[in-house]
Structure 1
Amino acid sequence: MAAGHESSGRVRLRRWLNQSLRVEMSDGRTLVGSFLCTDRDQNIILGSCSEYLQPDSSGSTVEPRILGLAMVPGQHIIS
């Protein structure tokens, strides 16, 4: 693909590079980290990533868990 003729999807991904991204997963976890890259299978890599769990039934929250570099499978991403 020639320079200057990138698809709108690629342009959007380039704008997200190194930006803080919040990812909600199918199992209820939320990951927050810097968007580093993606692949053709829609997996994403987050740097400086932290994991947040849903509050338990008593309403108490759990401290976030620091993951560092994390690969998030595309099939588990809700938003």
Structure 2
Amino acid sequence: DLTRHLTDGVIIWQGKIIGHLPSFLYGDWNVWLGLPSADFVSLEYVPFLPNIFLFLCGLYLFQFMSEHEKGQAYLKKLS
């Protein structure tokens, strides 16, 4: 939730705005982070910062499951 609204220029925690990001952070040079300019348009755009935490959770979950017997059995069923 913290990085979900970065493209809107705000940081939100538990539904409340806790900070506004300065406009100089937004531009073509920071698109990959999730800070595009206002006129940025793309059909296939996945910003880095809002999604890195989801990736890390999946990585941790895979590691956890591969270390435990029941998790290994479940992973074998998937493959």
* Pairwise same-fold verdict (TM > 0.5): no
Higher relative contact order structure (alpha carbons within 8 Å, sequence separation ≥ 6):
1
- Higher Rg of the two aligned structures: 2
Query: What TM-score comes out, normalization by structure 2 length?
Result: 0.24
Structure having the higher helix fraction is: 2
Structure having the higher strand fraction is: 1
Query: What TM-score comes out, normalization by structure 1 length?
Result: 0.24
